[in-house]
Amino acid sequence: MAAETTVTTLATNVTSFVEVFRVLRLAAVRAKEWVLANEPLLSSLLDTWVRFHALDRSGWLPHHTTPFNRLDPAEQDPAVARRIVEAFYEDEWPAVEAAFRVRLQTHAFDEETLATFDEALVAHRLQLFRATPRTLFPDIERKARETLQGHGVTSQASLRELRKSVDALGVANFTRTGVVSFKLYRMFADHLYSHVKTPERLAEVAADPVPNRHAALHGLVVYATRQSSVNALIMAEYAHLSILAVAQALTGGDSFRHSFLQEDQHALADS
């Protein structure tokens, strides 16, 4: 009796194994058919990812003005991508500046922010690259303070509070500028407003072509290159768009507003 049970169990296991194998084989065939049918799309996605990766390693931030079409997906040297983008922003700056200005007018920024961007764009055009981050960063704090204090924040609205409120916006942080990018959010959350308190952190910040607010305004790092100037413009646009998104969420979302107001409030310590 025991032998018969064992044989029956083995037969059942073999049948189950054969069925699993059949299902897996069918799935593999269908997957291969799908890949072949969608090869152009997959190639395009891979090409786009490789270009984004090349840009990321070059130190340039992604933007709607980025010349992705000039980057060679086969090129592995980040210095090559860095030079290609540098040359583009140097040679094509009149068209880039015009594109910046057109886009800025669609963002519902206030007059002070638009005037600040105007001065920063002029400074960049005149190759006064040091002036760009030093002009843009204080206006981000002005607008953040106005936005957060206007929605029940009793203490001075800090940059720490701005970061927390932007974090609560979720995946929208990755598409805010019209370019799908995790890096812009990561730089905003982890780099732009981080303090520089150790020699090791200062070395990291100095090596990064994306300006750090603390280092720029306290003279710890001099951002005097075309790359750091363009990156400052891109990050400032992202920051102001994030502030607008926070303002809209505070106005229209009770759950967001309640969650934000329950956080401990801090005095403006990021000075």
**212 neighbors 221 (Cβ within 8 angstroms):** yes
What total of structural domains would you count in the chain? 3
**Is 121 inside a domain boundary?**
yes
User: Which tokens hold the place of 76?
Assistant: 């592995």
**Is 106 inside a domain boundary?**
yes
**201 neighbors 189 (Cβ within 8 angstroms):** no
Q: What is the pLDDT of residues 162-221, one digit of tens each?
A: 778 888 888 888 888 778 788 899 999 899 988 899 999 999 999 999 999 999 999 999
Residue 137 has pLDDT above 60, yes or no: yes
- Which residue intervals of the chain are DSSP H helices? 2-37, 39-58, 78-91, 93-104, 111-125, 131-149, 159-167, 182-187, 199-207, 213-217, 226-252, 254-261
Sequence-distant (6+) residues with CB within 8 A of 208 are: 59, 191
In angstroms, rounded to a whole number, what is the distance separating the alpha carbons of residues 135 and 152? 28
One domain for residues 180 and 56 = no
Give the residue, 149 or 109, on which the prediction is more confident.
109
One domain for residues 17 and 134 = no
Question: Can you give the pTM of this predicted structure?
Answer: 0.75
One domain for residues 139 and 171 = yes
One domain for residues 25 and 52 = no
Which amino acid is located at 146 in the chain?
E
**Is 195 inside a domain boundary?**
yes
One domain for residues 235 and 171 = yes
**Is 46 inside a domain boundary?**
yes
**Is 100 inside a domain boundary?**
yes
| Burial label, 29 (beta-carbon count in 10 A; 0-12, 13-18, 19+) | exposed
The three-state DSSP-derived secondary structure of 35-80 is HHHCHHHHHHHHHHHHHHHHHHHHCCCCCCCCCHHHCCCCCCCHHH
One domain for residues 33 and 51 = no
Q: What is the pLDDT of residues 51-98, one digit of tens each?
A: 667 777 889 999 999 998 888 877 778 899 999 999 999 999 999 999
**Is 270 inside a domain boundary?**
no
**Is 271 inside a domain boundary?**
no
One domain for residues 46 and 147 = no
Residue 107 has pLDDT above 80, yes or no: yes
One domain for residues 128 and 185 = yes
**Is 266 inside a domain boundary?**
no
Segments forming the whole domain that contains residue 48: 40-91
One domain for residues 124 and 212 = yes
One domain for residues 74 and 174 = no
pLDDT of the residue at 12: 63
One domain for residues 184 and 148 = yes
One domain for residues 135 and 216 = yes
